[in-house]
Structure 1
Amino acid sequence: MNYRITPAPTPVVVAWPTQLARITGVLVLAATSLLGLPASTNASMNSDEGKSAGKLLSQRERAAFIDRNLEHRFEHTLPALMRREGIDMWLLLSREYNEDPVLKTMLPASWMSARRHTMLVIYDPGEGQALERLAVARYAVSDLFTQAWDKEQQPDQWQALAAIIRERDPERIGINRSVDFALADGISSTEYDSLRSALGNDLNQRLVPAQPLAIAWLETRSEPEMSVYPDLVALGHSLIARAFSNEVVTPGETTTEDVIWWLREQSAALGLGNWFHPTVSIQRADRQAFDQVEAFSKRAGDNVIQPGDLLHMDFGLTYLRLNTDQQQHAYVLKPGETDAPQGLKDALAAANRLQDIVTGAFATGKTGNQVLSKARTQAIKESLKPVIYTHPLGVHGHGAGPTIGLWDQQEGVPVAGDYPLYPDTAYSIELNAASTIPEWDKEIRIMLEEDAFFDGEKVTYLKGRQTQFHLISSP
């Protein structure tokens, strides 16, 4: 196949000709030469993780993927979720620039926001029938929602919406109101008041919170998404490997802020987003003991990286409306060293064991708090010192679904932790394990975060996990 390489700052981005047959699963192979990745990452992953990423789609191809994936989700994912949660009709109402976060995930790629006043209606006519998707708006919403409002015939948009609802006569009408889940609380107070005024008493009695459906829509991953997600994760690992190498770090000169902004620049050069600002932090033998509050509530300072440092990175990418969230470690070799001290390697192995315990506690129907409790009990029984704060991942970095611990709530998280696990969901397996390092005579924490998929029976890392430190040489 012929393709052209678009000139860009290093790394180079490959722009493939638009071919819809290639849209699903195109983030595959060939990154070491095209993206300038190192031949080895120094961090052990499953299979060839971290050694390859893939050819990134052009903006036009990305839009085609997003729209095809939305169509797939509407046809194959949403009907079962609506029936599971007992919602006959789902209303998503937003004015331009004040969008419901769920509505934003349903807009086509060419729509950067709602237009004027966008009202989306999703109606389930019953088992065996396709969902009806209507836009009570001045425009059809691409091919995803059919325009269902003629302003010339009915000037009042709210009354047009009410007429559509009365005609279909649904028993349960879901609206995105939630006290406990921000992502499911997208209807504004003004929209809610206007809706109730337009519907009247009879239909108002049928309004129900769509919280479970909103969470289900956001947390459930589709086949097209899972065809590209592992390679996005691999690309993140590859950038971490480069950042934690002598390509970027010169001990005694490079600062943590230098590495952070290198990651931001490389992400931008690839045409990718970052859903949070990366962090790079240092633990070292002569520094005061690790402080949990300091690590999680304050940004790392502008520290010069020195030989003997244990480096930690937190980094995430956004692409095709999917997000990654990854944490890994590097060790800066002292002159004459060829590997990290054994105590640090043992600490990493302990954190890997904690990962196994957490993923082994996953089970369909178990709540986040039940998974947390089971994992902590087993970890403590094995003399580990665990802190677990795993979360759903997908169209949002801190996604909808069950919270499995927070770093400062290890006894359970009310409400969000009581939500159950469902199949076909993705998670950021995030945690840390404390260990005493004999060579340093102090306690350190290994903080790991890897992205994984839960199929309902087992958890599989999307592209492996770190089991060896990245190693950075000193002059």
Structure 2
Amino acid sequence: MKGSNTEVVREKLEQATHLMKKHHVDTWLIMTREGSDPALPLLVGVRSVHQAAIFLRNSGKHLVLTSKSDAGSYEATGLFEHVHIYEAAIEEKFLSIWKGLTIQKLALNISEHDHLCDGFTFGLYTWLLNTVGKDALQQVETSSEQMLSELRSVKTSTEIETIKNAVHATTDIFETVHKKMKPYMTELEIGNLFVAEMKERGVSSGLGGAYDPPLVCAVRHGLAHRKPSDRKVEPGDLVIVDFSLKYDDYVSDIARTIYFVRAGETEAPQEIEHAFRTAHRAITASIEALKVGKKGYEVDEVGRKVIEEAGYPTIRHSVGHQIGRATHDGGTILGPKRVPARPAVEGTIRAGEVYAIEPTVIQDDGLPCMLVEENVLVTPDGPVILSKRQEELWLVKE
């Protein structure tokens, strides 16, 4: 795993260098302490304990200023042309490097819209302002948001293969656990079946703690983003399982819906089957619309229309979102267009992005709900489904 992570960082730094040239940025400055910037694992792969300044250069000759105790971690990466060390105070050496670089345009990880692009803390920005001077900084600074958003969104070949491994492990666990589900198990007991399978495969949860169970909701007990409860699942219940798995620092996000049949039933009631078929059609339509150049809201409109035209309430969330190092990985979101405009849904879909597609049937008062979620890679030739699709409503019999 360690080797693949090193390869990912090298690939992402190559991407960063290309993006800096594209946006006419000569220097990208990342300031960190105690791993404060979420871009660090993606771009550097080192978590500084003490304050550090990482200077990415569009020439590819990157450098870092770090404490003596953290220097070895940066040197071990082999990614930096120079690893500069400060002993007590960082300011003097920082200014020396700053003046020597003759910076014309400086990108900082500051964003009003995307928390994953907003890693430059106010405290460190104040430090930078005081160290180099307000006028000197304001003449060159710009936000890295466009670059960093694309960097997170457009996956490299190694990232795509790792996500595929996460998806494969997820669908394999789903199929294994489905065979072990029984009526009168509690939601938590079902969730713990997933935890046991994760431990056996050496993977972990993509949300929360390493071995937190997935979302397991019997619709009768209320559909929400909540932890599985100790309430029992009985015949006649619809159960939704939303499962994000982490494999080598990359995640999947897949959901399945299961019907626990009553005595004498051989299949789900018609109203439940109709809800499943509607969600399935909405997913298919959304995937078919997921093409390079489309806007996020354009894909949302397609999936949302299928749900609404079948007579169900409109979806309460977006039709889809990106996955990668996080279950909600920033960048373009497949959500509804609103006023004022949301930058994320106005974003353009690019090749190399991976989306979780989840147009959902959501109803209140215990009426049938249906969440089926698939993971899809965008390619120049069209969308490629990475997950093994749920083509039929899963059943559990006594």
Q: TM-score, normalised on structure 2?
A: 0.86
Per-residue deviation, residues 419-455 of structure 1 (Å, max 9, x unmatched): 322221111112213599xxxx984121111111112
Does residue 164 of the first structure (1) align with residue 103 of the second (2)?
no
2:188 aligns to what?
257
Cα distance in structure 2, aligned partners of 1:383 and 1:336: 29
Amino acid at match of 1:448: V
Does residue 371 of the first structure (1) align with residue 305 of the second (2)?
no
Choose from 131, 142, 149 the match for 2:84.
149
Cα distance in structure 2, aligned partners of 1:69 and 1:399: 16
- Matched ranges for 1:70-149 at <5 A: 70-75=9-14, 77-96=15-34, 98-108=35-45, 111=46, 113-125=47-59, 131-137=60-66, 138=68, 139=71, 141=74, 142-149=77-84
- The Cα of 1:186 is off from its aligned counterpart by 0.6
Per-residue deviation, residues 290-329 of structure 1 (Å, max 9, x unmatched): xxxx523544532212223222101111111211111101
- The Cα of 1:371 is off from its aligned counterpart by 2.8
Give the number of the structure whose residues are more often helix, by fraction.
2
Cα distance in structure 2, aligned partners of 1:414 and 1:107: 30
Report if the CA contact (8 A) 1:92-1:187 is conserved: yes
Report if the CA contact (8 A) 2:186-2:229 is conserved: no
Does residue 327 of the first structure (1) align with residue 255 of the second (2)?
yes
Per-residue deviation, residues 216-272 of structure 1 (Å, max 9, x unmatched): 121121101222322321211121222222x2x2313x1111111222233234332
Cα distance in structure 2, aligned partners of 1:158 and 1:366: 46
Choose from 375, 384, 387 the match for 1:463.
387
Cα distance in structure 2, aligned partners of 1:309 and 1:83: 56
Partner of 2:53, secondary structure, is strand
Cα distance in structure 2, aligned partners of 1:368 and 1:282: 31
Does residue 394 of the first structure (1) align with residue 324 of the second (2)?
yes
Partner of 2:274, secondary structure, is helix
Cα distance in structure 2, aligned partners of 1:260 and 1:376: 29
Amino acid at match of 1:85: H
Seen in structure 2, the aligned counterparts of structure 1 residues 413 and 431 have a Cα distance that, compared at 3 Å, is: farther
Cα distance in structure 2, aligned partners of 1:232 and 1:266: 13
Partner of 2:13, secondary structure, is helix
- The Cα of 1:83 is off from its aligned counterpart by 2.9
Cα distance in structure 1, aligned partners of 2:225 and 2:274: 27
- Matched ranges for 1:402-441 at <5 A: 402-405=332-335, 414-433=342-361
The structure showing larger relative contact order (alpha-carbon pairs under 8 Å, at least 6 residues apart) is 1
- The Cα of 1:72 is off from its aligned counterpart by 2.4
Cα distance in structure 1, aligned partners of 2:340 and 2:235: 39
Per-residue deviation, residues 147-170 of structure 1 (Å, max 9, x unmatched): 431447xx6533433333333323
- Using the TM superposition, name which of 161-170 and 172-181 deviates more: 161-170
Per-residue deviation, residues 102-137 of structure 1 (Å, max 9, x unmatched): 1132343xx4x2132222111003xxxxx1221211
Seen in structure 2, the aligned counterparts of structure 1 residues 169 and 374 have a Cα distance that, compared at 3 Å, is: farther
Structure 1's unaligned 5+ residue stretches are 1-61, 126-130, 289-293
- The Cα of 1:471 is off from its aligned counterpart by 2.5
Cα distance in structure 2, aligned partners of 1:414 and 1:449: 23
1:445 aligns to what?
369
Partner of 1:267, secondary structure, is helix
